[in-house]
Structure 1
Amino acid sequence: MRLLLMSDTHVPLRAKQLPEELLTQVARADVVIHAGDWVDTATLDLLEARSRRLIGVYGNNDNKAAPPLRARLPEVAYAELGGVRFGVVHETGVARGREARCAARFPELDVLVFGHSHIPWDSVAEERLRLLNPGSPTDRRRQPHCTYMTAEVSAGRLTGVELHRLPPRR
């Protein structure tokens, strides 16, 4: 099972549209996971239409910019994909202590996908909980590149986690 992970798309505030490379990956993925800060309902509608399965949550900017998103999306989402227990949330707090804090908050999960910081993150908490932040495909902030992640779920395991850099916007 092929996964596509993204967060913090901020369309149309930070970009007019999602990058074409990302939309190509949406079509290839079995499951698309979005960890919040969509900012507009059009992006949610687009990903729902183009995805085989979409799992998403709302972020802090979704409350301000697009209240209808909060009505359509949960704060935390849970899914079992191929025997791997996933959670999705927008914010996890400051980087310091993140692993212990998330392991305590989500003891039942194997993988937690989060966003908010726009900083890619891949770590393991307490030798069991994988923490993944795909960064942002549209707003790199202080990062060198806009990013997203892909991964595979096979035989009850998460494998092939890869961070993808997007070319600079013109």
Structure 2
Amino acid sequence: MRLLLMSDTHLPKRAKRLPEPLLEEVPRADVVFHAGDWVDTDTLDLLESRSRRLIAVYGNNDGLGLRARLPETAYAELEGLRFAVVHETGPSQGRDARCAARFPDTDVLVFGHSHIPWDTTASTGLRLLNPGSPTDRRRQPHCTYMTALISGGRLTQVDLHRLPPR
């Protein structure tokens, strides 16, 4: 099963549209994750129309229209792996332990907010993934997103993709 992970698209504040390489990945993915801060409902409509399955949450920059359509936290089980998606996880210091305590029955946590790519595993085995932002790199060298595979009930081949400068 092929996964596509993104967060913090901030459209149309930070960019006019999603980058083409990211859009090309959407129909290839069995499941698309978005960890919040959409800013506009048009991007949600676009991903809903192009995705086989979309698992998404709202973020702190999302208004009432998005909050009416999306949860603050989403859960899904994919091929035996338990996923949670949330926008904010707090400061990076202590994040692994804090999230492991907050999501004890989760195998993979997808989150956003910081725009900083993150891929770690807590001592409990919880995998924490932040795909960064495909449209607003902030102080990062590149805009980014992630892809991953689920094979044999395990998360494999987690790749961070750097997007060309706009």
Q: TM-score, normalised by structure 1?
A: 0.97
Match of 1:53 in 2: 53
Structure 1's consecutive aligned runs of 4 or more residues displaced over 2 angstroms after TM superposition are none
Q: Distance in 2 between matches of 1:160 and 1:146?
A: 20
Counterpart of 1:81? 78
- Structure 1 unmatched runs, 5+: none
Equivalent pairs: percent with the same residue?
80
Q: Does 1:148 align with 2:145?
A: yes
Structure 2 distance, partners of 1:160, 1:119, is 19
Query: Which residue matches 1:16?
Result: 16
How many residue pairs match? The answer is: 166
Describe the SS at the equivalent of 2:96: helix
Aligned 8 A contact 2:74 2:84 in 1: yes
Structure 1 letter corresponding to 2:101: A
Q: CA deviation at 1:155?
A: 1.0
Secondary structure of the structure 1 residue equivalent to 2:159? strand
Query: Amino acid of the residue matched to residue 64 of structure 2?
Result: P
TM-score (norm 2): 0.99
Partners in 1 of 2:69 and 2:144 — Cα distance?
25
Mapped pair 1:157 → 2:154 = yes
| Conserved 8 A contact 2:100-2:124 | no
**In the alignment, which residue of structure 1 is the partner of 2:163?**
166
In the TM superposition, what are the counterparts of 1:21-170 in structure 2 within 5 Å? 21-62=21-62, 66-169=63-166
Q: Which amino acid aligns with 1:17?
A: R
Letter aligned with residue 121 of structure 2: V
Amino acid in the other structure paired with 1:73 = L
What residue ranges of structure 2 are gaps of 5+ in the alignment? none
C-alpha separation in 2, matches of 1:21 and 1:149: 12
Counterparts of 2:94 and 2:47, CA distance in 1: 33
